[in-house]
């Protein structure tokens, strides 16, 4: 069973050079462990595969109930070189919120594993 990330969290994207940073913040503190479990760096890397990322890092912020993703090579050379309509990648935050994530006990996606398709 899956749920849409949009219903659990809000997000904001920023950029520095060719790196996009996307925060994912749980609306409710009790949903944070679910985000930690289901929204791994591997899951996010797979979702944004088409961007041609070189690496995805994830930082956990339990005090804020938030995850911070750092997407390297996400912006086609960065805002000053990219031919993209949204060269900053500002809209990537909303795109990410449309991802469906696995709910606990239903085939959790873990780091390094293939995320399950439903």
Partner 1 sequence: MKTIRIGAGAGFSGDRIEPAVELVEHGRLDYLVFECLAERTIALAQQAKRKNPAGGYDPLLEARMRAVLPGCHRQGVRIISNMGAANPIAAARRVIEIARELGLTGLKVAALTGDDVLDLALDENPMLLTGGGRVADIGRDHILSANAYLGADGIVDALGRGADVVIAGRVADPSLFLGPLMHAFGWRPDDWDLLGRGVLVGHLLECAGQLSGGYFADPGVKPVPGLARLGFPYAEVSSDGAAAVSKAPGSGGRIDLSTVKEQLLYELSDPSAYVTPDVTADFSNVRLEQIGPDAVGLSGAGGRPAPDQLKVSVGYLDGYTGEGQIAYAGVQAAERGRLALEIVRERLALTGVAVEELRSELIGIDAIFQGADGDASYTPREVRARIAGRCATLQAAHAIGAEVEALYTNGPAGGGGVTRSASAVVAIASTLLPRDRIRPRIDMEVA
- Contacts to partner 1 by CB under 8 A: 10-12, 14-19, 21, 23, 25, 27, 46-51, 57, 59, 61, 63-66, 68, 70, 78-81, 83-86, 91-92, 95, 98-99
Q: Which is nearer to partner 1, 39 or 65 (CB)?
A: 65
Q: Which is nearer to partner 1, 55 or 110 (CB)?
A: 55
Q: Which is nearer to partner 1, 62 or 104 (CB)?
A: 62
- CB of 23 vs partner 1, minimal distance in Å: 4
CA distance 42 to 103: 16
Q: Which is nearer to partner 1, 12 or 110 (CB)?
A: 12
- CB of 94 vs partner 1, minimal distance in Å: 8
- CB of 8 vs partner 1, minimal distance in Å: 12
CA distance 36 to 17: 27
Greatest Cα pair distance, the chain, in angstroms, is 44
CA distance 99 to 39: 9
């Amino acid at each position: 069973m899956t749920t849409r990330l949009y219903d659990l969290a809000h997000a904001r994207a920023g950029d520095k050079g060719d790196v996009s940073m996307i925060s994912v913040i749980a609306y409710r503190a009790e949903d944070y462990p679910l985000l930690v479990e289901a929204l791994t760096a591997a899951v996010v890397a797979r979702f944004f595969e088409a961007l041609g990322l070189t690496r995805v890092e994830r930082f956990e912020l339990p005090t804020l109930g938030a995850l911070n993703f750092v997407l390297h090579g996400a912006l086609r050379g960065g805002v000053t070189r990219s031919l993209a309509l949204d060269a900053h990648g500002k809209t990537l935050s909303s795109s990410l919120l449309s991802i469906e994530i696995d709910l606990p006990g239903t085939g959790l996606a873990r780091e390094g594993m293939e995320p399950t398709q439903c």
